[in-house]
Copies of this chain bind each other. A is one copy, B any other.
Amino acid sequence: MTDWLDEIKWTDDGLLPVIAQDDETGRVLMFAWMNRDSLAMSVEKGEAVYYSRSRQKLWHKGEESGHTQKIKSMRLDCDADVMLISIEQTGGIACHTGRESCFYKEFANGQWHDVDAVIKDPKDIYE
């Protein structure tokens, strides 16, 4: 039943790097980690459940913010040690800073520049 989980090459810590990409626009929204339980739960719920390394617990994305991620498809890479998920981002905001994507610091002229607008103030997201 869970052979597909065994095919994954988990890190020594039992983790898998996961890239979340917007199913409609193709924009890469965030990068996080899953463990075995969180991936099984993601498939069961049809929504992204990550493993928070800092809080050391499962993290159902959107549980506080409402910004859940509906999984449309999942792909594993050639080495079976990285996963790409195509998602529908509720609220259009994946980043805890209130931006669409976590990747908003663009490199130009030897510096990183914040180039994307904040869609919603984090204070109003996590109140």
Copies in the complex: 2
Q: Whole-angstrom distance from the CB of A44 to the nearest CB of chain B?
A: 12
| A42 CA to B33 CA, complexed, in Å | 26
Query: Across the interface, do A107 and B28 meet the contact criterion of CB distance under 8 Å?
Result: no
Size range of the chain A interface in the assembly: 35 or more
Mark contacts of A59-98 with chain B using CB atoms, 8 A cut-off: 1 yes-contact digit, 0 otherwise: 0000000000000011111111010100000000001110
| Residue A4 lies at the interface, judged by CB distance under 8 Å to chain B | yes
Chain A residues with a Cβ under 8 A of chain B: 1, 3-4, 7, 17, 19, 21, 25-28, 30-31, 43, 73-80, 82, 84, 95-97, 99, 102-107, 110-112
In the complex, what distance in Å separates the CA atom of A120 from the CA atom of B48?
34
